[in-house]
Copies of this chain bind each other. A is one copy, B any other.
């Protein structure tokens, strides 16, 4: 059946704190197809829990999680719904979590997802609320969430009804669960997840949950999949060999690779059930505490109202004026998507599992998780530093805690595991960038120590920076190492190391460590060694200085494997030297040659909006006198083409909000184009006025207004900071947060 795409525009609630409701501009369906990998489920800002319709497993499904490399529990064009999962990732590129799935059904009990799955209709989503009609069962479902718990309201028709909790099905390829029906209103248990992307396939761990239902079930049961037995046992086991068994009234733990529970009801009249699920990564007890502290006896509508309020609190930090509703929807949905990950991992009592060992630890702040740093170092943390500095500080402190706990800063951290996804040393850049922007209320000595550790060879191996020894020796990672399978993508990795080393140099300078500044500045300069003067590409190069011959700058697009480059080709990495754009331009021999290459990339469709390395390319025009207007042209064109209000309105994987952060900054007219360079480059905003409510705890100024004035063109005539004309198209972070007004005057 045809799915109905709907976006709740009505403002349903009155807000005390805010004059305006910005949640009405959040459309959670954006990015739910075309591999955006976002979902329309309900989540609170940076929530550990999200309640998401699972529709990528089984059925007549275009995008089936096991038939494709699908990293999402929800795909907009799919039609086969099998329940609401309670732990989920948004906008990532590997399958994991998507577990603790609750499905309402009616009639006789059926525990097979392929049989009990249903189509959905009348899907609606807003920040913190998702609703749909489950066609097969004529059940209306509404789900909402707090940070650590989800709540679902199912409106059943009269007759037999069932609540199925499935701990077998999940997006994660891991298996193994324990479940205990505590009584006919409560279930507790855990489920194994982990091994995200399989770079570190031993990182499996349990997620704990407690589920409470507001009405006593008439019958409860647990099902467990029996393993298949050969031999004489098979004859004795007969029909249930390798099949599921339904065990009624089992109020004790049952364990296995695949199992679930059944709560059955027989309703005399149409009845609403409220199902609450608390989650923890520490213990079942903490999952119960989270549930009780955050939801307890709060009715569904009140939880939904609070979720909306919390979202508006967050979204109203940046207020925009002018622009169409669609533009506002693109903007606020992007801002919403930057507020999903990193998410909190600490329980209501401050406990969380220490990284790696998973020993229980306590924090007074927020412990964050899901650090997709190769993505987010480029812009998401800069957005947090500017507009949500307290969050960013907690994130940096989490990263330093991870260093304390594991001996290493994170690279791609997920629920206390290091997944080692992608390349480079992005944590160093995030820490340096945050410090350099003046958000320095963290232990800079420990931070520097942590950064130093990854920056050098380490006895037993440096897991963050493979081949760091040959990188230091040659000032690039020779392709020899890659061909010997010592690492992935020698050119890309080198480029990431240059960015990190540049950040380290700046950080060292700020800390007065001049020798380190010098050393790492030299290391950062190594990109020039990879720049082939003939082709003007950064190319794979052997240790002996010769170039890797089998080189095709066109190869490697669309994530196909390509020697030298990680998820991209030589074009997409060609100009990823944001930290030294003047130097790069100079290395090209002439500005003309450089601009030709920049134009060529866009004009021959080598530019990939869906991936991070070339995200800053459109802003590069701002480095070339006379070309600056083209930055705005490119940015506006790309934003309008790739980021819309449609379900395919994110260019590709949202990459835990990195794509969205690009949108947020771009539409505001400022972009942190060079990580660890504490500035923003300026283009024409898409709104007439953007007000960023700054956090007075961290910045002197409490409000920054970015104004677009002048003519109707998108060509900048001048830029004024508090009335004074800005020279050039860059403004330092320091100046920006000190300014009351940034005025962009167009022709």
Question: Please, which residues of chain B bring their CB within 8 A of the CB of A359?
Answer: 251
Nearest CB of chain B from residue A354's CB, rounded to whole Å: 10
The answer to whether B358 touches A247, judged by C-beta atoms less than 8 angstroms apart, is: no
Is A197 interfacial (CB 8 A cutoff)? Answer: yes
Pick from B66, B224, B229, B255: contact of A230, CB below 8 A.
Answer: B66
Is A115 interfacial (CB 8 A cutoff)? Answer: no
Is A705 interfacial (CB 8 A cutoff)? Answer: no
Cα(A238)–Cα(B197), bound, Å? 12
The answer to whether A227 touches B353, judged by C-beta atoms less than 8 angstroms apart, is: no
Most buried by B among A68, A95, A236, A249: A236
| Stretch of A201-209, A327-335, A528-536, A692-700 contacting B (4+ beta carbons < 8 Å) | A201-209
Q: Contacts A66-B230, A66-B231, A236-B197: A204 and B173 contacting too (C-beta < 8 A)?
A: no
Question: Please, which residues of chain B bring their CB within 8 A of the CB of A178?
Answer: 178, 253, 255
Nearest CB of chain B from residue A42's CB, rounded to whole Å: 28
Question: Please, which residues of chain B bring their CB within 8 A of the CB of A230?
Answer: 66
Interface set, chain A 335-378, CB cutoff 8 A to B: 353, 356-359
Nearest CB of chain B from residue A417's CB, rounded to whole Å: 11
Nearest CB of chain B from residue A193's CB, rounded to whole Å: 11
The answer to whether A176 touches B240, judged by C-beta atoms less than 8 angstroms apart, is: no
Question: Please, which residues of chain B bring their CB within 8 A of the CB of A251?
Answer: 357-359
The answer to whether B252 touches A353, judged by C-beta atoms less than 8 angstroms apart, is: yes
Question: Please, which residues of chain B bring their CB within 8 A of the CB of A205?
Answer: 252, 254
The answer to whether A236 touches B176, judged by C-beta atoms less than 8 angstroms apart, is: no
Is A157 interfacial (CB 8 A cutoff)? Answer: no
Is A108 interfacial (CB 8 A cutoff)? Answer: no
Q: Contacts A176-B224, A233-B173: A201 and B255 contacting too (C-beta < 8 A)?
A: no
Is A267 interfacial (CB 8 A cutoff)? Answer: no
Nearest CB of chain B from residue A326's CB, rounded to whole Å: 36
Is A177 interfacial (CB 8 A cutoff)? Answer: yes
Question: Please, which residues of chain B bring their CB within 8 A of the CB of A197?
Answer: 236
Interface set, chain A 167-181, CB cutoff 8 A to B: 173-178
Q: For this complex, into which size category does the number of interface residues on chain A fall?
A: 35 or more
| Integer count of this chain's copies in the complex | 2
- Would you give the 0/1 interface string for A60-75, flagging 1 where the beta carbon is closer than 8 Å to chain B? 0000001111000000
Interface set, chain A 187-216, CB cutoff 8 A to B: 190-192, 197-198, 201-206
Question: Please, which residues of chain B bring their CB within 8 A of the CB of A224?
Answer: 176, 192, 204
The answer to whether A227 touches B357, judged by C-beta atoms less than 8 angstroms apart, is: no
Nearest CB of chain B from residue A415's CB, rounded to whole Å: 11
Is A626 interfacial (CB 8 A cutoff)? Answer: no
Pick from B174, B192, B254: contact of A192, CB below 8 A.
Answer: B254
Cα(A256)–Cα(B240), bound, Å? 20
The answer to whether A246 touches B66, judged by C-beta atoms less than 8 angstroms apart, is: no
Question: Please, which residues of chain B bring their CB within 8 A of the CB of A66?
Answer: 229-233
The answer to whether A192 touches B256, judged by C-beta atoms less than 8 angstroms apart, is: yes
Is A237 interfacial (CB 8 A cutoff)? Answer: yes
Identify the closest chain B residue to A416 (Cβ): B252
Cα(A95)–Cα(B176), bound, Å? 24
Q: Contacts A68-B232, A178-B255, A253-B206: A237 and B173 contacting too (C-beta < 8 A)?
A: yes
Pick from B177, B256, B356: contact of A175, CB below 8 A.
Answer: B256
Q: Contacts A67-B231, A204-B224: A177 and B236 contacting too (C-beta < 8 A)?
A: no
Is A257 interfacial (CB 8 A cutoff)? Answer: yes
Question: 26 A-B Cβ contacts within 8 A?
Answer: A66-B231, A66-B232, A69-B233, A69-B236, A173-B237, A175-B226, A175-B227, A175-B257, A176-B257, A190-B255, A192-B254, A192-B255, A192-B256, A198-B236, A198-B237, A201-B237, A202-B245, A206-B253, A206-B254, A249-B356, A250-B358, A251-B358, A252-B358, A255-B255, A256-B257, A257-B257
